[in-house]
Structure 1
Amino acid sequence: MTRTVGEVMTREVVQARPETSFKDVARLLDRHHVSGLPVVDHDDKVLGVISGTDLVRHQAAHHAGGRARRLRGSVLRRSARRTTAAAGATTAGELMSSPAITVHPEQRVPDAARVMARHRIGRLPVVDEEDRLIGIATRRDLLQVFLRTDEEIRRDVADGVLAPAMGPAPHPVAVSVRDGLVRLTGQVERRSDIPRAVRLAWRVDGVVGVVNDLTFRLDDGGLSEQPLPDRPALS
Protein backbone atom coordinates (compact mmCIF):
# COMPACT_ATOMS: atom_id res chain seq x y z
CA MET A 1 0.00 0.00 0.00
CA THR A 2 3.01 2.31 -0.23
CA ARG A 3 2.28 5.04 -2.74
CA THR A 4 4.60 6.03 -5.55
CA VAL A 5 5.95 9.42 -6.53
CA GLY A 6 3.71 9.39 -9.60
CA GLU A 7 0.63 9.20 -7.39
CA VAL A 8 1.48 12.26 -5.28
CA MET A 9 3.49 14.49 -7.63
CA THR A 10 2.25 17.80 -9.01
CA ARG A 11 1.70 17.47 -12.75
CA GLU A 12 1.43 21.16 -13.63
CA VAL A 13 5.04 22.30 -13.33
CA VAL A 14 6.30 25.87 -13.41
CA GLN A 15 9.49 25.71 -15.44
CA ALA A 16 12.14 27.85 -17.11
CA ARG A 17 14.30 27.56 -20.20
CA PRO A 18 18.09 28.04 -20.12
CA GLU A 19 17.67 31.44 -21.79
CA THR A 20 15.04 32.67 -19.29
CA SER A 21 16.34 35.89 -17.77
CA PHE A 22 17.13 36.49 -14.11
CA LYS A 23 14.17 38.88 -13.77
CA ASP A 24 11.75 36.48 -15.46
CA VAL A 25 12.79 33.67 -13.14
CA ALA A 26 12.17 35.95 -10.16
CA ARG A 27 8.74 36.82 -11.56
CA LEU A 28 7.86 33.13 -12.02
CA LEU A 29 8.84 32.29 -8.44
CA ASP A 30 6.82 35.20 -7.08
CA ARG A 31 3.75 34.74 -9.29
CA HIS A 32 3.37 31.02 -8.60
CA HIS A 33 4.48 31.16 -4.94
CA VAL A 34 7.18 28.51 -5.40
CA SER A 35 10.72 28.48 -4.05
CA GLY A 36 12.33 26.80 -7.04
CA LEU A 37 11.70 25.35 -10.47
CA PRO A 38 13.31 23.04 -13.04
CA VAL A 39 15.14 24.32 -16.09
CA VAL A 40 14.37 22.30 -19.22
CA ASP A 41 15.54 22.31 -22.82
CA HIS A 42 13.25 22.44 -25.84
CA ASP A 43 12.78 18.67 -25.63
CA ASP A 44 11.55 19.00 -22.02
CA LYS A 45 14.65 17.26 -20.67
CA VAL A 46 15.71 18.55 -17.25
CA LEU A 47 19.01 20.43 -17.32
CA GLY A 48 19.03 21.75 -13.77
CA VAL A 49 17.07 23.44 -11.01
CA ILE A 50 17.01 27.11 -10.06
CA SER A 51 15.79 28.43 -6.73
CA GLY A 52 15.28 31.68 -4.92
CA THR A 53 18.53 30.94 -3.10
CA ASP A 54 20.37 30.94 -6.43
CA LEU A 55 18.96 34.38 -7.21
CA VAL A 56 19.98 35.71 -3.80
CA ARG A 57 23.52 34.36 -4.31
CA HIS A 58 23.63 36.09 -7.68
CA GLN A 59 22.72 39.42 -6.13
CA ALA A 60 25.26 38.92 -3.33
CA ALA A 61 27.97 38.07 -5.88
CA HIS A 62 26.98 41.13 -7.92
CA HIS A 63 27.48 43.51 -4.99
CA ALA A 64 30.62 41.71 -3.82
CA GLY A 65 32.03 41.95 -7.34
CA GLY A 66 31.60 45.70 -7.34
CA ARG A 67 33.49 46.02 -4.06
CA ALA A 68 36.20 43.57 -5.12
CA ARG A 69 37.00 45.54 -8.27
CA ARG A 70 38.00 48.47 -6.09
CA LEU A 71 40.56 46.41 -4.18
CA ARG A 72 44.21 46.18 -5.17
CA GLY A 73 46.68 43.27 -5.28
CA SER A 74 47.04 40.31 -7.65
CA VAL A 75 45.41 37.82 -5.29
CA LEU A 76 42.45 40.10 -4.77
CA ARG A 77 42.17 40.72 -8.52
CA ARG A 78 41.97 36.98 -9.19
CA SER A 79 39.26 36.65 -6.54
CA ALA A 80 37.46 39.61 -8.05
CA ARG A 81 37.46 38.00 -11.51
CA ARG A 82 35.87 34.84 -10.10
CA THR A 83 33.25 36.83 -8.19
CA THR A 84 32.54 39.04 -11.17
CA ALA A 85 31.96 35.98 -13.38
CA ALA A 86 29.30 34.74 -10.97
CA ALA A 87 27.78 38.22 -10.80
CA GLY A 88 27.65 38.37 -14.60
CA ALA A 89 25.34 35.38 -14.89
CA THR A 90 21.99 36.65 -16.11
CA THR A 91 20.03 33.60 -17.34
CA ALA A 92 18.54 30.50 -15.74
CA GLY A 93 21.06 28.32 -17.59
CA GLU A 94 23.94 30.24 -16.02
CA LEU A 95 22.47 30.38 -12.51
CA MET A 96 20.91 26.91 -12.15
CA SER A 97 22.28 24.03 -10.07
CA SER A 98 23.22 21.25 -12.46
CA PRO A 99 22.90 18.33 -12.95
CA ALA A 100 19.45 18.15 -11.38
CA ILE A 101 18.60 15.41 -8.89
CA THR A 102 15.52 13.69 -10.31
CA VAL A 103 13.21 10.76 -9.54
CA HIS A 104 11.02 8.47 -11.60
CA PRO A 105 7.25 8.18 -11.07
CA GLU A 106 7.39 4.51 -10.03
CA GLN A 107 9.76 5.17 -7.12
CA ARG A 108 8.29 4.83 -3.62
CA VAL A 109 7.48 7.97 -1.65
CA PRO A 110 9.73 6.99 1.31
CA ASP A 111 12.65 6.53 -1.09
CA ALA A 112 12.04 9.98 -2.59
CA ALA A 113 11.89 11.45 0.92
CA ARG A 114 15.30 9.91 1.68
CA VAL A 115 16.74 11.51 -1.47
CA MET A 116 15.38 14.89 -0.39
CA ALA A 117 16.81 14.52 3.11
CA ARG A 118 20.19 13.30 1.85
CA HIS A 119 20.65 16.20 -0.56
CA ARG A 120 18.87 18.79 1.60
CA ILE A 121 16.53 19.88 -1.15
CA GLY A 122 12.83 20.69 -1.15
CA ARG A 123 11.76 19.51 -4.62
CA LEU A 124 12.48 16.71 -7.06
CA PRO A 125 11.71 16.93 -10.78
CA VAL A 126 9.96 13.74 -11.88
CA VAL A 127 11.12 12.41 -15.25
CA ASP A 128 10.12 9.58 -17.57
CA GLU A 129 12.41 6.91 -19.00
CA GLU A 130 13.79 9.45 -21.49
CA ASP A 131 14.49 12.04 -18.76
CA ARG A 132 11.66 14.30 -19.89
CA LEU A 133 9.90 16.33 -17.22
CA ILE A 134 6.44 14.97 -16.32
CA GLY A 135 5.91 16.45 -12.86
CA ILE A 136 7.51 17.66 -9.67
CA ALA A 137 7.46 16.22 -6.15
CA THR A 138 7.76 18.74 -3.35
CA ARG A 139 8.20 18.24 0.35
CA ARG A 140 4.54 19.14 0.78
CA ASP A 141 3.50 16.44 -1.72
CA LEU A 142 5.43 13.80 0.19
CA LEU A 143 4.18 14.97 3.57
CA GLN A 144 0.61 14.24 2.50
CA VAL A 145 1.47 10.54 2.64
CA PHE A 146 2.66 10.78 6.24
CA LEU A 147 -0.31 12.88 7.43
CA ARG A 148 -3.02 10.30 6.88
CA THR A 149 -5.76 9.74 9.46
CA ASP A 150 -5.54 6.86 11.92
CA GLU A 151 -8.64 5.29 10.42
CA GLU A 152 -7.13 5.32 6.92
CA ILE A 153 -4.01 3.66 8.25
CA ARG A 154 -5.96 1.07 10.26
CA ARG A 155 -8.08 0.15 7.25
CA ASP A 156 -5.03 -0.27 5.02
CA VAL A 157 -3.17 -2.39 7.58
CA ALA A 158 -6.12 -4.62 8.45
CA ASP A 159 -7.87 -4.98 5.11
CA GLY A 160 -5.23 -3.91 2.63
CA VAL A 161 -2.19 -5.95 3.65
CA LEU A 162 -2.81 -8.33 6.57
CA ALA A 163 -6.07 -9.95 5.43
CA PRO A 164 -4.91 -10.72 1.85
CA ALA A 165 -1.42 -11.84 2.88
CA MET A 166 -2.23 -13.95 5.93
CA GLY A 167 -5.56 -15.38 4.81
CA PRO A 168 -8.59 -16.26 6.93
CA ALA A 169 -7.91 -17.19 10.52
CA PRO A 170 -10.10 -18.32 13.40
CA HIS A 171 -8.73 -15.42 15.45
CA PRO A 172 -7.84 -12.61 13.00
CA VAL A 173 -5.30 -10.00 13.99
CA ALA A 174 -6.89 -6.92 15.56
CA VAL A 175 -5.44 -3.59 14.44
CA SER A 176 -5.69 -0.30 16.29
CA VAL A 177 -3.94 2.96 15.42
CA ARG A 178 -3.26 6.07 17.43
CA ASP A 179 -1.22 8.99 16.04
CA GLY A 180 0.23 6.69 13.39
CA LEU A 181 1.33 4.07 15.93
CA VAL A 182 -0.09 0.65 14.98
CA ARG A 183 -0.85 -1.97 17.63
CA LEU A 184 -1.33 -5.60 16.56
CA THR A 185 -3.16 -7.93 18.96
CA GLY A 186 -4.56 -11.42 18.72
CA GLN A 187 -3.25 -14.90 17.99
CA VAL A 188 -1.68 -16.05 14.74
CA GLU A 189 -1.25 -19.64 13.65
CA ARG A 190 2.56 -19.86 13.60
CA ARG A 191 5.33 -18.05 15.41
CA SER A 192 6.90 -17.09 12.07
CA ASP A 193 3.71 -15.22 11.16
CA ILE A 194 4.46 -12.56 13.76
CA PRO A 195 7.49 -10.86 12.14
CA ARG A 196 5.71 -11.16 8.80
CA ALA A 197 2.68 -9.28 10.14
CA VAL A 198 4.89 -6.60 11.65
CA ARG A 199 6.77 -6.09 8.38
CA LEU A 200 3.51 -5.85 6.44
CA ALA A 201 2.19 -3.21 8.82
CA TRP A 202 5.34 -1.14 8.39
CA ARG A 203 4.80 -1.06 4.63
CA VAL A 204 1.65 1.06 4.92
CA ASP A 205 2.01 4.79 4.31
CA GLY A 206 1.67 6.92 7.44
CA VAL A 207 2.83 4.25 9.92
CA VAL A 208 5.33 5.69 12.40
CA GLY A 209 5.67 2.62 14.62
CA VAL A 210 4.36 -0.88 15.23
CA VAL A 211 3.62 -2.38 18.66
CA ASN A 212 3.56 -6.17 18.57
CA ASP A 213 1.17 -7.79 21.07
CA LEU A 214 0.65 -10.93 19.00
CA THR A 215 0.80 -14.48 20.32
CA PHE A 216 1.04 -17.73 18.34
CA ARG A 217 -0.53 -21.18 18.44
CA LEU A 218 2.30 -23.27 16.93
CA ASP A 219 6.01 -22.71 17.42
CA ASP A 220 7.62 -23.40 14.05
CA GLY A 221 10.95 -21.88 15.07
CA GLY A 222 10.30 -18.53 13.44
CA LEU A 223 11.90 -15.46 14.99
CA SER A 224 9.57 -13.23 16.96
CA GLU A 225 11.53 -10.10 16.07
CA GLN A 226 13.25 -8.94 12.92
CA PRO A 227 14.80 -5.57 11.97
CA LEU A 228 12.23 -3.05 10.82
CA PRO A 229 12.76 -0.77 7.83
CA ASP A 230 13.94 2.77 8.44
CA ARG A 231 11.44 5.53 7.96
CA PRO A 232 12.67 8.80 6.42
CA ALA A 233 12.53 12.04 8.38
CA LEU A 234 11.15 14.99 6.40
CA SER A 235 12.50 18.34 7.26
Structure 2
Amino acid sequence: MKRRTVADVMTTKVVTVTEDTPFAEIADTMAEHGISSVPVLDDGGRLAGIVSEADLLRKEEYKGGPVQQRRLRLRRHAEAEAKAGAVDARGLMSAPVVTVAPHTPIPEAARLLNAHGFKAAPVVADDGRLAGIVARRDLLRVFHRSDADIRDEVIRDVLICKLWQDPAELHVRVQEGVVHLTGRVELKSLIPIVVRMTAATEGVVDVVHDLGYDTDDTHPTAYPRA
Protein backbone atom coordinates (compact mmCIF):
# COMPACT_ATOMS: atom_id res chain seq x y z
CA MET A 1 0.00 0.00 0.00
CA LYS A 2 1.96 2.98 -1.28
CA ARG A 3 1.57 6.15 0.72
CA ARG A 4 1.97 9.40 -1.16
CA THR A 5 4.30 12.03 0.22
CA VAL A 6 4.65 15.79 -0.08
CA ALA A 7 6.86 15.30 -3.14
CA ASP A 8 3.88 13.79 -4.98
CA VAL A 9 1.60 16.82 -4.54
CA MET A 10 3.83 19.87 -3.98
CA THR A 11 4.24 22.75 -6.41
CA THR A 12 7.79 22.79 -7.75
CA LYS A 13 7.65 26.11 -9.63
CA VAL A 14 7.82 28.47 -6.68
CA VAL A 15 7.76 32.25 -6.82
CA THR A 16 10.64 33.51 -4.66
CA VAL A 17 12.45 36.73 -3.76
CA THR A 18 15.95 37.45 -2.47
CA GLU A 19 16.93 39.08 0.79
CA ASP A 20 17.58 42.35 -1.06
CA THR A 21 14.20 42.48 -2.83
CA PRO A 22 12.53 45.86 -2.04
CA PHE A 23 9.25 46.12 -0.15
CA ALA A 24 7.23 47.40 -3.13
CA GLU A 25 8.53 44.65 -5.42
CA ILE A 26 7.54 41.98 -2.89
CA ALA A 27 4.02 43.44 -2.65
CA ASP A 28 3.73 43.58 -6.45
CA THR A 29 4.98 40.00 -6.81
CA MET A 30 2.48 38.63 -4.31
CA ALA A 31 -0.39 40.54 -5.94
CA GLU A 32 0.62 39.49 -9.45
CA HIS A 33 0.72 35.79 -8.60
CA GLY A 34 -2.18 35.80 -6.15
CA ILE A 35 -0.14 34.37 -3.27
CA SER A 36 -0.24 35.21 0.44
CA SER A 37 3.43 34.55 1.20
CA VAL A 38 6.74 34.26 -0.62
CA PRO A 39 9.93 32.38 0.32
CA VAL A 40 13.14 34.38 0.64
CA LEU A 41 16.37 32.84 -0.68
CA ASP A 42 19.90 33.75 0.33
CA ASP A 43 22.83 34.19 -2.06
CA GLY A 44 23.38 30.41 -2.11
CA GLY A 45 19.83 29.67 -3.14
CA ARG A 46 18.88 28.30 0.27
CA LEU A 47 15.76 29.22 2.20
CA ALA A 48 16.47 32.17 4.48
CA GLY A 49 12.96 33.11 5.56
CA ILE A 50 9.46 33.86 4.38
CA VAL A 51 7.47 37.06 3.92
CA SER A 52 3.69 36.98 4.37
CA GLU A 53 0.90 39.47 3.80
CA ALA A 54 0.83 40.04 7.56
CA ASP A 55 4.49 41.13 7.45
CA LEU A 56 3.73 43.69 4.75
CA LEU A 57 0.72 45.02 6.62
CA ARG A 58 2.88 45.92 9.63
CA LYS A 59 3.93 49.08 7.82
CA GLU A 60 0.33 50.25 7.58
CA GLU A 61 -0.54 49.06 11.09
CA TYR A 62 2.26 51.06 12.73
CA LYS A 63 1.97 54.13 10.54
CA GLY A 64 1.23 57.39 12.38
CA GLY A 65 -0.70 57.49 15.66
CA PRO A 66 0.08 59.18 18.97
CA VAL A 67 3.67 58.96 20.16
CA GLN A 68 2.63 57.42 23.47
CA GLN A 69 0.67 54.69 21.69
CA ARG A 70 3.61 53.96 19.41
CA ARG A 71 5.96 53.65 22.41
CA LEU A 72 3.58 51.19 24.01
CA ARG A 73 3.51 49.19 20.80
CA LEU A 74 7.29 49.27 20.67
CA ARG A 75 7.56 47.71 24.11
CA ARG A 76 4.98 45.03 23.42
CA HIS A 77 5.70 44.32 19.77
CA ALA A 78 9.34 45.14 19.10
CA GLU A 79 9.60 42.64 16.25
CA ALA A 80 6.45 43.88 14.55
CA GLU A 81 7.63 47.46 14.89
CA ALA A 82 10.95 46.52 13.30
CA LYS A 83 9.14 44.93 10.35
CA ALA A 84 7.05 48.07 9.96
CA GLY A 85 10.25 50.00 9.29
CA ALA A 86 11.77 47.42 6.97
CA VAL A 87 12.44 48.28 3.33
CA ASP A 88 13.44 44.87 1.96
CA ALA A 89 12.86 41.15 2.42
CA ARG A 90 15.76 40.84 4.85
CA GLY A 91 13.97 43.06 7.35
CA LEU A 92 10.48 41.81 6.60
CA MET A 93 10.96 38.05 6.61
CA SER A 94 10.23 35.65 9.44
CA ALA A 95 12.96 33.16 10.29
CA PRO A 96 13.56 30.36 10.97
CA VAL A 97 10.79 28.93 8.81
CA VAL A 98 8.62 25.92 9.56
CA THR A 99 9.30 23.58 6.64
CA VAL A 100 8.59 20.04 5.50
CA ALA A 101 10.80 17.57 3.67
CA PRO A 102 9.81 16.09 0.29
CA HIS A 103 9.51 12.61 1.83
CA THR A 104 7.10 13.78 4.57
CA PRO A 105 3.87 11.71 4.54
CA ILE A 106 0.81 13.73 3.56
CA PRO A 107 -1.05 13.17 6.88
CA GLU A 108 2.00 14.44 8.80
CA ALA A 109 2.22 17.54 6.61
CA ALA A 110 -1.50 18.20 7.10
CA ARG A 111 -1.11 18.00 10.88
CA LEU A 112 1.83 20.42 10.73
CA LEU A 113 -0.10 23.02 8.74
CA ASN A 114 -3.11 22.72 11.02
CA ALA A 115 -1.01 22.92 14.19
CA HIS A 116 0.56 26.21 13.07
CA GLY A 117 -2.48 27.58 11.26
CA PHE A 118 -0.53 27.84 7.99
CA LYS A 119 -2.04 27.81 4.52
CA ALA A 120 1.20 26.51 3.03
CA ALA A 121 4.74 25.52 3.94
CA PRO A 122 8.04 25.52 2.00
CA VAL A 123 9.45 22.13 1.06
CA VAL A 124 13.18 21.94 1.71
CA ALA A 125 15.54 19.21 0.50
CA ASP A 126 18.30 17.70 2.63
CA ASP A 127 20.84 20.18 1.26
CA GLY A 128 18.74 23.13 2.46
CA ARG A 129 17.60 24.17 -0.98
CA LEU A 130 13.98 24.98 -1.72
CA ALA A 131 12.36 22.04 -3.51
CA GLY A 132 8.81 23.37 -3.69
CA ILE A 133 5.88 24.56 -1.66
CA VAL A 134 2.89 22.59 -0.41
CA ALA A 135 -0.50 24.14 0.34
CA ARG A 136 -3.60 22.79 2.01
CA ARG A 137 -5.29 22.39 -1.36
CA ASP A 138 -2.39 20.20 -2.51
CA LEU A 139 -2.82 17.88 0.46
CA LEU A 140 -6.50 17.45 -0.37
CA ARG A 141 -5.59 15.76 -3.66
CA VAL A 142 -5.51 12.41 -1.87
CA PHE A 143 -9.30 12.58 -1.80
CA HIS A 144 -9.53 13.03 -5.57
CA ARG A 145 -9.75 9.28 -6.17
CA SER A 146 -12.57 7.40 -7.81
CA ASP A 147 -14.70 5.08 -5.71
CA ALA A 148 -13.59 2.19 -7.93
CA ASP A 149 -9.90 2.86 -7.23
CA ILE A 150 -10.52 3.00 -3.49
CA ARG A 151 -12.54 -0.23 -3.56
CA ASP A 152 -9.83 -2.04 -5.54
CA GLU A 153 -7.13 -0.96 -3.10
CA VAL A 154 -9.13 -1.95 -0.03
CA ILE A 155 -9.81 -5.42 -1.44
CA ARG A 156 -6.34 -6.01 -2.86
CA ASP A 157 -4.03 -4.38 -0.34
CA VAL A 158 -6.00 -4.44 2.91
CA LEU A 159 -8.14 -7.56 2.82
CA ILE A 160 -6.05 -9.93 0.70
CA CYS A 161 -2.41 -8.85 1.06
CA LYS A 162 -2.39 -7.49 4.61
CA LEU A 163 -5.08 -9.44 6.44
CA TRP A 164 -5.40 -12.58 4.31
CA GLN A 165 -9.16 -12.32 4.25
CA ASP A 166 -11.37 -14.03 1.69
CA PRO A 167 -12.98 -11.26 -0.39
CA ALA A 168 -15.92 -13.57 -0.94
CA GLU A 169 -16.73 -13.29 2.77
CA LEU A 170 -16.27 -9.52 3.00
CA HIS A 171 -18.18 -7.17 0.74
CA VAL A 172 -16.83 -3.71 -0.02
CA ARG A 173 -18.92 -0.87 -1.41
CA VAL A 174 -17.63 2.70 -1.84
CA GLN A 175 -19.83 5.72 -2.37
CA GLU A 176 -18.43 9.27 -2.43
CA GLY A 177 -15.33 8.08 -0.60
CA VAL A 178 -17.28 6.37 2.19
CA VAL A 179 -16.46 2.67 2.46
CA HIS A 180 -19.25 0.29 3.49
CA LEU A 181 -18.10 -3.09 4.81
CA THR A 182 -20.42 -6.05 5.30
CA GLY A 183 -19.86 -9.76 5.80
CA ARG A 184 -18.07 -11.91 8.37
CA VAL A 185 -14.56 -12.44 9.68
CA GLU A 186 -13.28 -15.42 11.60
CA LEU A 187 -12.28 -13.57 14.78
CA LYS A 188 -14.01 -10.66 16.50
CA SER A 189 -10.66 -9.00 17.20
CA LEU A 190 -10.14 -8.59 13.44
CA ILE A 191 -13.06 -6.21 13.03
CA PRO A 192 -11.38 -3.05 14.44
CA ILE A 193 -8.21 -3.93 12.51
CA VAL A 194 -10.11 -4.19 9.22
CA VAL A 195 -11.87 -0.90 9.91
CA ARG A 196 -8.68 0.91 10.94
CA MET A 197 -6.66 -0.25 7.94
CA THR A 198 -9.50 0.55 5.56
CA ALA A 199 -9.78 4.06 7.01
CA ALA A 200 -6.03 4.54 6.48
CA THR A 201 -6.41 3.98 2.73
CA GLU A 202 -5.83 7.18 0.80
CA GLY A 203 -9.01 8.87 -0.32
CA VAL A 204 -11.25 7.22 2.27
CA VAL A 205 -13.57 9.75 3.90
CA ASP A 206 -15.20 7.40 6.40
CA VAL A 207 -15.82 3.71 7.09
CA VAL A 208 -19.25 2.26 7.89
CA HIS A 209 -19.41 -1.42 8.77
CA ASP A 210 -21.82 -4.15 9.73
CA LEU A 211 -19.35 -6.98 10.21
CA GLY A 212 -20.08 -10.24 11.95
CA TYR A 213 -17.68 -12.85 13.31
CA ASP A 214 -17.46 -16.60 13.87
CA THR A 215 -15.44 -16.65 17.11
CA ASP A 216 -15.26 -14.15 19.96
CA ASP A 217 -11.60 -14.11 20.93
CA THR A 218 -11.81 -10.85 22.88
CA HIS A 219 -12.56 -12.54 26.22
CA PRO A 220 -10.25 -14.96 28.04
CA THR A 221 -11.34 -18.58 27.94
CA ALA A 222 -12.15 -20.22 31.26
CA TYR A 223 -10.28 -23.51 31.49
CA PRO A 224 -11.67 -26.31 33.71
CA ARG A 225 -9.76 -27.08 36.87
CA ALA A 226 -7.61 -30.21 36.86
TM-score of the superposed pair, with normalisation by structure 1:
0.80
2:19 is equivalent to residue 22 of structure 1? no
C-alpha displacement at 1:205, in angstroms?
1.9
Contact 2:30–2:37 (CA<8 Å) still a contact in 1?
Answer: yes
C-alpha displacement at 1:221, in angstroms?
3.2
C-alpha displacement at 1:7, in angstroms?
0.9
Q: What are the equivalent positions in structure 2 for 1:200-219 lying under 5 Å apart?
A: 200-219=197-216
C-alpha displacement at 1:170, in angstroms?
6.7
Unaligned runs of 5+ in 1: 223-235
CA distance in 1, matches of 2:83, 2:186: 67
CA distance in 2, matches of 1:126, 1:170: 40
Q: Secondary structure at the match of 1:100?
A: coil
2:5 matched to which residue of 1?
4
Contact 2:177–2:206 (CA<8 Å) still a contact in 1?
Answer: yes
> Aligned in 2, Cα 1:6/1:181: closer, same or farther, shift over 3 Å?
same
> Aligned in 2, Cα 1:14/1:172: closer, same or farther, shift over 3 Å?
farther
CA distance in 2, matches of 1:43, 1:101: 19
1:146 matched to which residue of 2?
143
Unaligned runs of 5+ in 2: 220-226
Q: Tell me the matched-pair count.
A: 215
TM-score of the superposed pair, with normalisation by structure 2:
0.83
2:166 matched to which residue of 1?
169
CA distance in 1, matches of 2:137, 2:106: 12
Over residues 99-131 of structure 1, what are the superposed CA-to-partner deviations in whole Å (9 max), with x where a residue is unaligned?
Answer: 111011121111111111111110111112233
Q: Which has the higher contact order (CA 8 A, sep 6+)?
A: 1
1:232 matched to which residue of 2?
none
1:54 matched to which residue of 2?
55
Q: Identify the match of residue 108 of structure 1 among 98, 105, 108.
A: 105
Identity %: 40
CA distance in 2, matches of 1:45, 1:192: 50
Over residues 15-72 of structure 1, what are the superposed CA-to-partner deviations in whole Å (9 max), with x where a residue is unaligned?
Answer: 11111111111122122222212112123322221122221222322x23xx34xx4x
1:33 matched to which residue of 2?
34
Over the aligned positions, Cα root-mean-square deviation in angstroms equals 2.5
Q: Secondary structure at the match of 1:167?
A: coil
CA distance in 1, matches of 2:196, 2:88: 49
